[in-house]
Amino acid sequence: MVESLPTEFERTEIGQIQIAPEVIEVIAGLATVEVSGVAGMSGGFAGGIVELLGRKNLSKGVSVEVGQREAAVDVSVIVEYGHRLPEVAGEIQRNVKRSIENMTGLTVVEVNVHIHDVQFVKSSEKSEDIDVVQRVK
């Protein structure tokens, strides 16, 4: 984890302003789940942990590298079935970049989106379950 170093811009008359990388991870996570078509965040293949919307760990599936004036972000997501993957990924990139830059003043040099899975709509799964129950009777 790279710590944020105070720059001259972050020094004020009465002290320093530092933004922890974890704060930037949370901002990126929130900006990601705001995008239509995102079903949840993924911890990656190694972790195998999936965070669906509504969970409290807003930085799950987000990795940041923070310098003095710039940040690079990686997000791992699960996309809802039926959405165009390139469009969802592009919107994630724009929303994450805009949110971090507006809230922190850092320049976001890259936002890498890793799509790890596609989630099918639960209503279709329920209708399949009904069919199975009816065949068993």
Residue 1 CA: distances (Å) to CA of 21, 30, 60, 67: 8, 20, 15, 11
Q: Strand, coil or helix: what is 125?
A: helix
Instruction: Go through the domains of the chain in sequence order and give each one's CATH number.
Output: 8-136 (3.30.70.1350)
Whether residue 66 contacts residue 100, with contact meaning beta carbons closer than 8 Å, is answered with no
Q: Strand, coil or helix: what is 131?
A: helix
Whether residue 71 contacts residue 106, with contact meaning beta carbons closer than 8 Å, is answered with yes
Among 95, 90, 88, 96, which residue's Cα sits nearest to residue 24? Answer: 96
CA gap 121, 124 in Å, rounded: 6
User: pLDDT per position in the chain (137 positions), as tens?
Assistant: 445 444 445 677 898 888 899 999 999 999 999 999 999 998 754 444 444 444 457 788 999 999 889 999 999 999 999 999 999 999 999 999 999 999 999 999 999 999 999 998 765 454 455 455 555 55
Cα–chain center distance at 32: 4
What are residue 16's DSSP bridge partners?
A: 11
pTM for the whole structure: 0.75
Among 117, 110, 5, 118, which residue's Cα sits nearest to residue 63? Answer: 110
Whether residue 21 contacts residue 3, with contact meaning beta carbons closer than 8 Å, is answered with yes
- pLDDT of 131 reads 52
